[in-house]
Amino acid sequence: MLLHLAKRWEEFPDVEFHFDCSDKPIGFYADLEFDCKIFHMCDAYGRRVPHICANDTAFNQRYRVCDWEYNVNCADSPNFYYLNDLTYETEPPTKA
């Protein structure tokens, strides 16, 4: 599998990422510039770590997994970025 993904990176020679994590909470984010075939993990310091989905898959922002391309509406991905806030809360829950 790793060799397969390494070859997949060859499809993106000299790639430049414009996705900015500096204003995003911790989480995983689809990169629309690459039709969601690439996604980024943003950390608490605004650093970005790019990841690539396997052939015939794209990052499904709603479920935060690489999914079959036909299941992914990449343009809708920003509508689900907020789910990272719910998953990676830094404050403990309060009792009512």
Domain boundaries, the chain: 2-11+21-87
Supply the pTM of this predicted model. Answer: 0.79
61 or 96, which is more confident = 61
Cα angle 78, 84, 88 (rounded to 5 degrees) comes to 165
Q: Are 69 and 9 spatial neighbours (Cβ–Cβ below 8 Å)?
A: no
Whether 74 shows a pLDDT value over 70: the answer reads: yes
Q: How many angstroms separate the CA atoms of 73 and 61, rounded?
A: 9
Read off the pLDDT of residues 24-65 as tens digits, 9 standing for 90 and up.
999 999 999 999 999 999 999 999 999 999 889 999 999 999
Q: Are 81 and 21 spatial neighbours (Cβ–Cβ below 8 Å)?
A: no
Percentage of the chain with pLDDT > 70? 80
